[in-house]
Structure 1
Amino acid sequence: MRVAFLGPAGTYGEQAAQQLIALEGLADAELVPQLGIRAVVQALAQGDCDAAVVPVENSVEGGVTTCLDALWEHPDLAVARALVLPVRHALVGSGPIAGISEVLSHPQALAQCSQWLADNLPKALQLPTSSTADAARMVAGSRFRAAIASRQAAEEHGLTVLAYPVNDVAGNCTRFLLLRRGIRAHTGTLASLAFSLHSNQPGALLEALGCFARRGLNMSRIESRPSKREMGEYIFFVDLELPDAPEVLEGALGDLAPLCEHLALFGAYPISHQGAG
């Protein structure tokens, strides 16, 4: 069992992958780091790996658009399980904090710490990287560069924790998905789906969302992404909290389908929450 994740070692993606592997009871799983979220999905879609772990949503910065686009583009992939992981960022480096002139991290992490950086390192240049752990690797040995990453990443790369925590919101957390190839399940705690409408008419989206309301299904998330075909055309990503009765979801999808140009259920799945450490 080969499981792709956003590498290198020390990322929050690796932490999530380890926990999702344990929750799924996947014996002898091998973690395979990838450079970039799209590469994680491609490793699974192309058959190089048997599963993939990707971030889909952050409680502060919202949806991870690369993941949403990848799910829409790969109908052969299914969501098998989700994990909500608390994210506690640290400022890590090799030199004193007073000498830091550049801060490196993944764009999501930089955004999640923007106020702290403005207050504590207002003159430091912020440089995006492919992952938080890659940022930690890149600043190792530098006296003027620091990274926003996990304390685990600091340990992996021999760095000092200069400040912790540095995220602006104490309850910062990210939802990770475990993806597999195969059939998309219709039973679980949560269902993720996406749809595009036949036309952009007044009340069209309201009519579509009414399919969920009439069945008593609560939306825990809705987000739109451009279709990339023409201006003003969107794909709507929705998460639904599911009851025990699977026929409720089936009925809602049956009601919704005639209204849609495209409708994709990514899967229904269990979701776990890790307590803050």
Structure 2
Amino acid sequence: MFRSLLFALLLLLGHSALAQQPVPYGNNPAAGKYAQVRGVKLYYETYGAGPPLLLLHGNGGSSKEFAKTIPYFARKYRVIALDSRAHGKSVDRTDSLSFEQLADDCAALLTQLRLDSAYVLGWSDGGITALVLALRHPEKVKRLAATGANLWPDSTALMPELWQQMKRGYQEGRTQTFTDPTRRNDWKVFLLDWRHPHIPLTALAGVKAPAFIIAGDRDVIRPEHTVAIYQNLPRAWLWIVPNSGHATLHEYADEFNRKVEAFFQARNIARPTR
């Protein structure tokens, strides 16, 4: 009897320990799949059920960046956390990247998943991709939230410290020959932000989807640049997060998630009256 009780207790504790294991977002065999899209094998993970929500990560990152985002939204949405081409587990053997490529990949993936459209949440490069997706494939975007996005690559959009760091990185890398595939891929990913994007402010008038533009007040994106993005969108909300850097969705995860969901659910996206 005692041995049976002890065995049951150990079994219960074992199940409890397993239940407390963190979900390996970005490397979760239970949720991960591959899709052959536009000649590239894209990796994505799906969580929850409901209206589709596409999550787009930043430069050099992967879907694991959304570990504080996915659990919240998976309660009400079908969350699709994508590794962009040449990032995470998505392999891309081409020699260059552009945000147009990334946006077209997103549209093709949604089509392959038989989704007419989706809500979109992008961070940094993912925010840029979200805006480009809304411009190139307006029918695919219900609403978009973009945090830490920029429209062009120079010191008028990026804070001086980051721009100088990028200039040094380019000077050091431009004469090198990368034989190691990993370093060659890293250089291609770096060049994405060095050379792109190139979105005129006037082009934002073509974004039909309501947009929520977000940045930290200590972001690597100039605050005036973020405000200009907001001002040139037809229907938009703006949130400059106090006491936050570039990682708004990590530093203030709970508030970030609540505000983004409130935007997705809002009946009216009119600008506040002055």
Q: Could you say whether these structures have the same fold, taking a TM-score greater than 0.5 normalized by the shorter chain as the test?
A: no
Higher RCO by CA contacts (8 Å cutoff, separation 6 or greater)? 1
Please state which structure has a larger fraction of its residues in helix.
2
Please state which structure has a larger fraction of its residues in strand.
1
